[in-house]
A and B are shown apart, each in its own frame.
Chain A
Amino acid sequence: MGTYIAKRLLSGIITIWFIATATFIGMHMVPGDPLMNDKAVTPEVRANLEKAYGLDKPLPVQYVIYLRNMLQGDFGISFTQQNRRVNDIIAEHFPVSATLGVLALLFAAIGGIAWGALTALYRNKLPDILIMFMVIICVSVPSFVFAALGQLAILQLNNLLGVSLLPVAGWGTFSHMLVPALVLGLGTMAYLTRLMRSSMLEVADMDYIRTARAKGLTPGRIFFKHQLRNAILPVVTVLGPSIAAITTGGFVVELVFAIPGLGRYFVQAVQQLDYTVIMGTTVFYGAFLVLMVIAVDILYGFIDPRIQVDKAVQ
């Protein structure tokens, strides 16, 4: 196991290096000038700015410096907020995105499992049809439409009730997170519902269910003890990859609900061509994804004795 983890970590580090290099290349391909602003500056001021950011050096040198700083965990200073370090920016904004992501995933998992079970229970009856119809809508409507509608719905609700039940936008308390997380989780929830449904139906055909029925167990016991528990497994296995996707995919929700997450920051940084923030964010997210995948793989080894990770790779 130890060697396996070491091996995975090593390959992870190489992957992160690849991401860092790709980002560096991609970013320097972007036409435009990060040091320009609305009002023109004199050549002297410009030269000083270039020196301050090390942009006066040739690209390969910049690349080496960039890698060296990154190795020391230093992503440099933001171009737009020149008194803030990129590390601080990530440290402040990533927890927000992560919280939103985890909450959204929780919604998606609970909703997906419950709905999926329900549809399987009422197969081809009205609840099944209704839920599957909603699932279809969740899958096929772009997330920004949901986000805008969600915000509007809160406003209408508050106006109707005459009190501010939920905040329209912003961040800080749990009530701020509720609707954004729900909106963010909708797509994954729909996906999980479908997965859960087919998994439930597959399990329903299994011999042990027939045996249980033959033994005379109550339908409720069969449903919860045997069918549900076994059907959840494949759903749980996709949660790992989903969390990464959700955490990095929160841009739209963050924009609409004015949430100070890293995703929104990244979009701004791209528009402002904030080199250090773009590189820092991308490398950080890349590393986060890589480590998540490794962690999830290793975790499976502990969770499911049938999976032997170190053998599966060889």
Chain B
Amino acid sequence: MTNRILLLTSLLLGLALASLPVRAAPPGIDHERNEIAIVMTQEPQWLNSIKATDQVSFIVLDHISEGLMTYNVDNQLIGGVAERWELTQERATFWLRKDARWSDGKPVTAHDFVFAWQQVANPANAAEYAFLMRAFPNGEAITKGEMPPESLGVEAIDDHTLVAHLVKPVAYFLELVTFISFRPVREDFFRQHGQRYAADPDKLLSNGPFIMTDWVHGASMRWEKNPHYWNREAINLDAINVPYMTEDPNARFNLYMDNRIAMATGLDSSATKMALRKRQNLRSFRDGSTFFIEFNHRDDRPTRNVNLRRAMQSVFDAGELTYKVIGLAGNLPAYTLFPDWLQGTDGRSLAEEYPPIMPELNDEKARAYLEAAKRELGLEEIPPLSLLLSDTPGSVKQAEYFQDVMRSKLGLDIRLDRQTFKQRLAKMTAGSFDLVAAGWGPDYNDAMTFADLFASWNLNNRGRYASAEYDDLVTRAQSTNDRALRNRLFGELQQVIFDDVVILPQYERGYIYVQSTEIEGVRRTRVGGDPNYNYARILERR
């Protein structure tokens, strides 16, 4: 009878093993086949460019699709599907390449863009980025379901000419169209697969440098060079494998050390130390996002009082947080909402043109502010304040530090409110917090992606900061293409944010990563999917 059980077990096991795809894991760099292997943090959630929202999907889509404009290896804006373009205050015109093709050989036409953009606006698709289509005439009415999607103010003059009419000037429109939501989608293919569009490799149509040829959900992907891509000469790799998906930075680093992947990003202090001991080639990269403590400015919250916020500003040391508490190279202490990579005029950066204002750290002054706050609020003591945070280890550590600083320097009782991703979002939106640890990453390569964040009409302004002065500055910056003027307005916004202590800037996020010395041409980017391997090249073995 024991034998029978054993037989049964081995039978079960055999069945299970037989059902698995048996495939040897590729090495990180395969010189013979001209392929590399990389890791992703998780499964791409949604490879439909109309609806994609997550970083991993952005990475994949940036390899398998291409917009009107794109970036070269040095992150300079170049034509993608568009060969020529013209941007005025009223409209943008794009002349498409005749040799741009889908992976089934058919040409990419202006109609594919028009269709895609209409679908983004179409309320039936409930795309989160539908608001981007408000740049075009009727866009807002369409997203509200008041007009049909076909009425979007974007037209295909012919197969290779696209005209996008603009409601108001969009200085950064050429940068904006590199964004995922502006990618082309071919109507017949989209309709053919309906709900299941982009769910599997055979339900995906690419016009980018690579084609997804294999996708085992949650486990692996393989992208092969697209033979129909117009610029295929510039693509060096024959294939990119994604044999692993893990959010564990230690696992990623271990995979790298085992030569299973070409690059491992997001090293923590322990992995960094190991990498140093093993003499690995370390690099750093800032992903362009800023992290800050956002205050709740609603009327029923003590944090509506500017003196309370000033008191916190006067004791919070972003440098100490970044260097000692986070303690990972690559991060930069932040003193403003605008990260230091934003462009200014005349080749200078915005930060050089309008340097961030450093708060004066002064405990005495802080206590004076606190007293003033108590008086103005009519309170004997400031009640306990809740600090909403996500459940990632890093944010917990930073919040514990913040809590201790406020307790020891101001006697404030900060209560940590740790929530899972969706619960935190729900609380943020409902406004049930006093402070929230938040961050913002750029959607496009322009300061406006940060600047309008605290405009009173912005739904992402979860603390409901409302200031006529702020709104006015944003509106003025939105209605001109004059770079110098816009930058001056951004400089003024920066001053308002500081004076009003709209937020407490903490740090600009950076990473330490290891990358094999046998490849080059990996593009790191702050907007869109990062990293990008389109132009990566395997070097000769040294």
Contacts and interface: CB of A to CB of B under 8 A. Distances in A.
Direct contact of A and B (CB under 8 A): yes
Contacts of B46: 80-83
Interface string A91-123: 011011011001101100100000000000000
Given A48-B126, A164-B258, A102 B16 contact: yes
A176 B16 CA distance: 14
Nearest to A91: B217
A236 B7 CA distance: 13
A273 B423 contact: yes
Given A102-B13, A174-B17, A83 B195 contact: yes
B199 A83 contact: yes
A32 B143 contact: no
A37 B254 CA distance: 31
B24 interface: yes
A183 B199 CA distance: 34
A83 B344 CA distance: 42
B123 A239 contact: no
A41 interface: yes
| Most chain A beta-carbon contacts within 10 A, residue among B19, B46, B144, B422 | B422
Contacts of B419: 32
A217 interface: no
Interface string A201-238: 00000000000000000000000000001001100100
Nearest to B251: A169
B410 interface: no
A258 B39 CA distance: 10
A44 to B, nearest CB: 5
Nearest to B128: A41
Contacts of A158: 258
B16 A270 contact: no
B456 interface: no
Interface string B14-41: 0011011111110100000000000000
A223 B219 CA distance: 46
A273 B420 CA distance: 9
Contacts of A239: 5, 9
A31 B421 CA distance: 11
B391 to A, nearest CB: 8
Contacts of B9: 102, 105-106, 109, 239
A170 B243 contact: yes
B245 A168 contact: no
Contact of B5 (A36, A84, A303): A303
B537 to A, nearest CB: 24
A36 B257 CA distance: 38
A48 B123 contact: yes
B383 interface: no
A49 B128 CA distance: 10
B251 A173 contact: no
Interface stretch (A67-75, A133-141, A147-155, A191-199): A147-155
A249 to B, nearest CB: 17
Contacts of B385: none
A37 B126 CA distance: 13
A262 B125 CA distance: 29
Contacts of A83: 46, 48, 195-199
A39 B53 contact: yes
Nearest to A30: B423
Contact of B130 (A45, A82, A168): A45
Interface string B307-335: 00000000000000000000000000000
Contact-size category for A: 35 or more
A34 B196 CA distance: 21
A265 interface: yes
Contacts of A272: 421-422
Contacts of B5: 236, 239, 303
A278 B45 CA distance: 16
Interface string B433-466: 0000000000000000000000000111010000
B216 interface: yes
A206 to B, nearest CB: 18
Contact of B219 (A84, A155, A171): A171
B384 interface: no
B217 A260 contact: yes
Given A38-B53, A84-B217, A303-B5, A33 B45 contact: no
Given A31-B426, A260-B219, A84 B254 contact: no
Contacts of A2: none
A258 B24 CA distance: 16
Nearest to A176: B25
B244 interface: yes
A98 B17 CA distance: 10
Nearest to A167: B25
Interface of A: 30-34, 36-42, 44-46, 48-49, 52, 77, 80-84, 88-89, 92-93, 95-96, 98-99, 102-103, 105-106, 109, 148, 151-152, 154-155, 158-159, 164, 167-174, 176, 229, 232-233, 236, 239, 255-258, 260, 264-265, 268, 270-273, 303-304
Given A37-B53, A102-B13, 17 more contacts: A33-B425, A36-B429, A42-B131, A44-B143, A45-B130, A48-B125, A77-B195, A82-B51, A83-B195, A95-B16, A102-B9, A151-B254, A155-B258, A158-B258, A167-B258, A168-B255, A174-B17
27 contacts: A36-B425, A36-B426, A39-B53, A40-B458, A41-B126, A41-B130, A41-B131, A42-B131, A44-B144, A48-B123, A48-B124, A52-B126, A92-B216, A95-B16, A99-B20, A102-B16, A167-B25, A169-B255, A172-B24, A172-B25, A172-B243, A232-B2, A239-B9, A257-B251, A258-B246, A268-B42, A273-B421
Pairs A-B, 8 closest by C-beta atoms: A40-B459, A258-B246, A260-B218, A32-B423, A48-B126, A273-B422, A83-B199, A260-B219
Interface of B: 1-2, 4-5, 9-10, 12-13, 16-17, 19-25, 27, 42-43, 45-46, 48, 51, 53, 123-131, 143-145, 195-199, 216-220, 243-246, 248, 250-251, 254-255, 257-260, 391, 419-423, 425-427, 429, 458-460, 462
